[in-house]
Structure 1
């Protein structure tokens, strides 16, 4: 059954973040630089005063940036434009003060120079708009959001990426959960890491993974999400359903922070994994940084074999984390990696995790891992695949309801993707929903639209805040039905987000 709801266009969330993403001090430096160039074209009586004021404003702002906010590369064109304009703006003033006749270039010589300087200055806010410090959307649910990080080691599994037979598989997990309201001014959680240093380590590794110089995304480690680290768990929300999340190949646990915070604000606990030696960079509790060792061979058949193996490791990680969450709910101990030992005190999430209502989700290769984990472990009651190409065996058949979100299929899409996904869903014994989101790209389904250039082929065309809101909205419509038993057919809600194909047991899905 294929549906295209009337809300497919109206279901898009209004963009809430605009502007070039400049700090007040950067804006002052920008205004000073522009005034320095424009002063040359003012009436003679105004030129000296405007030039002096503009030069002072620019100099004070530029000198204050490194100390107050740090100098971002996006402001370098502004500095260059002002530096080129300064000699021509200040020279007439200095000559006049020295008693010499002020010399000014002819207008037809000065015009190209002024235009070039203004072009350089304008490149600054354009670069800041293209590569901003991400601003996370305010979660729309009724709960505030807390977050924390744990590190767990599986004593029963050897680490297959190392040669040490005594090395056990370790994963780092970030939890987002419904929390009590924190006091006004409580510091929000660092994005990409527990500290700014960890965030920079992860950001640089992510940039290297896609062949970009790290400085291009230097605004990302500066960002703060909407959650508060170690915020008290909400005391009135009962027990919360659990959603486990696996990132894309080379991705990290925080890559879907906006999505996780939105779910947590609606009463879910999200547990997102770092997969060491697969994630771009994982900072362990002892300070070591483990970087990715997965790489394409260039041979399609070999790559498919490798991907199936990596997916199997991820699926085992997901099953292990669900077991540890069950233990955490029973009070078995948190094994925290990010704070003081609680001793005999009960963990705040003990008795609050409804692991009997657990979903498994993932983006890209993480989506493939979610499908495999659900095949192998029926403790997972629902599956969410965010544009993930299925890898590995297709049996046993999926028994759980599945939501698969995909970008629009184009001639550039891997021709194996849609048939492989269709076969995986058609073989299942539970209801599946394949939602094709118009205007989406592969990175629409993670935080990329918040900080990457708004190029439709890279991040889609749903807007910086619209992308995570739409993905979370569709996810919540599915989870509320699958885990909470909300009345009504989720297809009606899902169809508002795009083109929907529903496959129910015993039907062909048309």
Structure 2
């Protein structure tokens, strides 16, 4: 909970205690509590802002203020309540306060954790259209493939700009954005309204930090049905350590993608068969390759921007989560411009002709990998296409390890611990999509291993963590190729 939200709840309790234990004749105490509580009430609404989780607290605060004021008024008739009724009403008030407070705690106004690098982080968003590709995920045959990408980079923020909101600042755009979430989850719009208060650690459209050498580039793809928003903290952390990071929204495969003209696209991707996965995987692979083309134009000045000459195109890395991780693997394998890749808990959709491992790859799997591997081995003799696909994938991971790459899993994590979803609410753990590990701890571990890998492969420094077990991170287990 935020500071004035806590003070607001405490003020309600103080007013209730005044009603229960302070004599009516002691006016100064009651009036002082009313004045102080009123100030906190107003400041909370004006500074921190209203949110629906505190609705019961707001109502109870208004009622308690009125009752205490009238109680100490000379004109107020002294009404005697029996002890049973008085304490029953007080118990109901306390229960309502606990309910509202619990909603505020478990559906909090969250902010992204601060990056641990030495540099501040700037961000800028671009809208790119691939005129050479038709959009096959819509019915309009004239549509071309459009992408929203966000660039994160080191900055001085010399103008002391305020950090950016995580979600769209424009009220109408924000409303459209959360409507796509509410429609998908069959929830009313107001449930997500408090997201407007969540903030990043980045500063929009500020100047890139001057450097004697260009910055290495990392492209980041989200998982199926999520969006680039869920990887903002990973992008910020890498940028704070001297990387330029490009996060991509794969249009029509996200919960919501918002375009500069106010259009908001939702999820329209069909994923029922292995062939569907390969078809969509091909689209995403082309997305990444197209974005690299656009970054080359930014760096050359063909597209006017502040990034001209600032990007090291000889040191390009790609990473992704889930389907985005599989896309990162596939794109790295096919595109000679990409030097290294990280796949975060993504099952590969293309395993044929992927045996020649000639680049640095890293697989980071969730804590369920070990149990999954046991289950697969018990059923590996089943003759079906899915099992063959999984067997080929394990063969690829084994090749990666044998060729000097890395493959680890993080105990206590589940699939969505590789996204920022773990910061949204502790209640998400109850669904099983995030693990028992503390969200900030899980995020920090993944960030450290991602940074260590790209430092070694794109900067030629570090690389200690990916060499083997480390006492600082006992949750990280290195996969033995003999177990695959």
- Aligned residue for 1:407? 366
- Aligned residue for 1:344? none
Structure 2 residue matching 1:241: 3-state secondary structure: strand
Matched, 1:31 2:10: yes
CA change 1:471–1:463 in 2 (3 A) is same
Q: Distance in 2 between matches of 1:167 and 1:461?
A: 44
- Aligned residue for 1:227? 202
Structure 1 residue matching 2:224: 3-state secondary structure: coil
Q: Which of structure 1's runs of 4+ aligned residues deviate more than 6 A?
A: 410-414
Superposed displacement of residue 59, structure 1: 4.8
- Aligned residue for 2:286? 316
Question: What per-residue deviation string (whole Å, max 9, x for no partner) do you get for residues 468-508 of structure 1?
Answer: 322211100111122222265543466453343357xxx75
CA change 1:202–1:494 in 2 (3 A) is farther
Question: What per-residue deviation string (whole Å, max 9, x for no partner) do you get for residues 26-77 of structure 1?
Answer: 3443233212222232142676544444445445554665555432012112
CA change 1:446–1:487 in 2 (3 A) is closer
CA change 1:453–1:200 in 2 (3 A) is farther
Contact 2:24–2:71 under 8 Å retained in 1: no
- Aligned residue for 2:382? none
Matched, 1:422 2:394: yes
Q: Distance in 1 between matches of 2:412 and 2:183?
A: 27
Superposed displacement of residue 423, structure 1: 3.1
CA change 1:218–1:112 in 2 (3 A) is same
Contact 2:351–2:392 under 8 Å retained in 1: no
CA change 1:211–1:436 in 2 (3 A) is farther
- Aligned residue for 2:466? 491
Mapping of residues 13-412 of structure 1, within 5 Å? 20=1, 22-24=2-4, 26-44=5-23, 48-59=27-38, 61-62=40-41, 66-82=45-61, 93=72, 97-98=75-76, 100=77, 102-184=78-160, 186-193=161-168, 195=170, 197-294=172-269, 302-334=272-304, 347-397=305-355, 398-409=357-368
Q: Distance in 1 between matches of 2:45 and 2:14?
A: 22
Contact 1:242–1:269 under 8 Å retained in 2: yes
**Aligned Cα root-mean-square deviation (Å):** 3.1
Q: Provide the aligned length of Structure 1 versus Structure 2.
A: 465
**Stretch moving more, 476-485 or 405-414:** 405-414
- Aligned residue for 1:14? none
Q: Distance in 2 between matches of 1:54 and 1:389?
A: 59
Superposed displacement of residue 216, structure 1: 3.3
Q: Which runs of 5+ in 1 are unaligned?
A: 1-19, 297-301, 335-346
- Aligned residue for 1:12? none
**Stretch moving more, 223-232 or 201-210:** 201-210
Q: TM-score, normalised by structure 1?
A: 0.81
- Aligned residue for 1:6? none
Q: Distance in 2 between matches of 1:128 and 1:155?
A: 47
CA change 1:161–1:281 in 2 (3 A) is same
Q: 2:424 aligns with which of 410, 426, 451?
A: 451
CA change 1:83–1:493 in 2 (3 A) is farther
- Aligned residue for 1:478? 453
Contact 1:312–1:392 under 8 Å retained in 2: no
Higher relative contact order (Cα pairs below 8 Å, separated by 6+ residues): 1
Structure 2 residue matching 1:245: 3-state secondary structure: strand
Contact 1:132–1:451 under 8 Å retained in 2: yes
Q: Distance in 2 between matches of 1:157 and 1:211?
A: 33
- Aligned residue for 2:383? none
Question: What per-residue deviation string (whole Å, max 9, x for no partner) do you get for residues 204-232 of structure 1?
Answer: 43454445544333332222211111111
Superposed displacement of residue 366, structure 1: 1.1
- Aligned residue for 2:477? 500
Q: Which runs of 5+ in 2 are unaligned?
A: 377-386
Contact 1:454–1:464 under 8 Å retained in 2: no
Contact 2:469–2:478 under 8 Å retained in 1: no
